[in-house]
Amino acid sequence: MSDFLCSSTGLSIAHEQILFLEPSCGDGRLLKALYDAGARRLFGCEIDHDLCTAAMQHCPCAHVAHGDFFTSSRPTSALGSLTIAIGNPPFSQFSNGRHDCQPSLVLQFLKHVAYQWRAVVVGFILPLRCAKEEFTSSALAVLNGATGTSSRLWRLARTFPLADTAFVFEFRDSKVVKQPSVFQIYTSLEISE
């Protein structure tokens, strides 16, 4: 997957110009997998203190920030880099003893990676329902509105179905939640006028 994400930039995964951003990095497993695949510039953000600490231990080669991703912005050290956002953003919130779907939460993540982080590629694991035309149209509207310029156009590059997707919430009650999911990749292109 990382090779496919990088292919739209024309650069290899290890290229110094690519910054991989994991906006909700959990315990850092994905950051570690990216590092093992050759990525060298890695940035993660995690709101949960225990998970953030685990991510720092799991992938000491990455810069992991503790805090709310929505208050983060692209560091000056990332200027001139091509940001690739990759991950599994939260798409539901737990309240009243059940998970409530929050499709707007995914859209907020897309907007923040496009606007504040100026990502050129976004690859997110999302619920299967996000593969529907209604969601992808909303996602593209958010992404294209977030760039604030008509010189950049976002498109849905690829949707990969993920078989037998289950998520383990290890830092809570070790509950396994089965969630049919897809891996969606959005890319932005420079438009010459």
Hey, where are the domains in the chain? 2-190
DSSP E strands, the chain? 18-22, 42-46, 63-66, 82-87, 92-95, 98-101, 119-127, 152-162, 166-169, 175-178, 181-190
**Is 70 exceeded by the pLDDT of residue 102?**
no
Q: Which residue has the higher pLDDT, 25 or 75?
A: 25
For the chain, percent helix, then strand, then coil, each to nearest 5?
Answer: 30, 35, 35
Alpha-carbon gap, residue 78 to 19, rounded angstroms: 7
Give residue-wise pLDDT tens across range 62-96.
999 999 999 999 988 887 889 999 998 887 654 44
Distance from C-alpha of 46 to C-alpha of 78, rounded to nearest angstrom: 19
Statement: 2-190 belongs to CATH 3.40.50.150: yes
pLDDT tens digits, 145-185: 866 666 678 999 999 998 776 555 554 555 666 778 899 99
